[in-house]
Structure 1
Amino acid sequence: MAGRSSQSNAMLYTVITFVSLFIIATVVAVIFYLKYEDEKMISQKNIEKADQLATDSQFRQLSRTVGDIKSGETYIGAMQDYLDQMVTVVTGEKIDTSARVKVNDTKKEINQTLEALGDEFAAAYGPEGVDLLQTLVQLKNSLDAQRQQQENLRQQLDKLQQKYAIDQQAWEQTKEEIITDKEQYQAQAQEIQEKYDELNQQMQQSADQQVQIWKDRYEKTENAREELLVELENTEENLQETKQELSDALAKLEEIKPRPDIEVAAYQPDAEVVAVDLQTDVVYLNIGSDQHVYRGLTFSIYDRSAPVPEDGEGKAEVEVFRVDEKVSSARIVSSSKKNQIVEGDKAVNLIWDEETSNDFVVVGSFDFDRDGLVDRDGKEKVEQLIERWGGKIKETVDINTDFLVMGTEPEVMAEPTASEMAIDPDAEDKYQAQLDRVDAYYKAIEKAETLAVPKFNLKRFLLLTGYETTAKQSEPTS
Structure 2
Amino acid sequence: MAQARTQGGGFTAAHVWMIGFVFLWLVSTVLLVWLYTEQEAIVNERDTLRRENTKLVRGGDKGLPQYAQASENGASMAGLLEQARKEMMVLAVGEELADAAAARTKVDDELLKRIVGDKLVDDVAPYQTQQLLPAMKALYENFAGEHRQRRDAVARADAAEQQSAEMTRAHEEIRTALDAAADEVKKSIAELKAEHTAYIAGRDQQVDGFVKEMDDLRQEHSRDLQARKDEVEGERKRLEDLQVRYAELQAKLGELQVKPGERLTARREDGQVVLAVPGDEMVYIGLGQRHHLTTGLQFAVYPAEGIPIDGRAKGRVEVVKIHENTAACRIVGMARQEIIVRGDLVANPVYDRDRTLQFVVVGWFDADGDGVQDPTGGDRVKSLIAQWGGDVVDTLTSRVDFVVAGAAPPVPAAVAGTEARDRDAGDRDQARRAARDVFDATVASATNLSIPILTQDVFLQFLGFR
- TM-score bracket relative to the smaller structure: 0.3 to 0.5
Which structure would you say has the larger Rg? 2
TM-score, reference length from structure 2: 0.44
Identify which of structures 1 and 2 has the higher relative contact order when contacts are C-alpha pairs closer than 8 Å and 6+ apart.
Answer: 2
TM-score, reference length from structure 1: 0.43
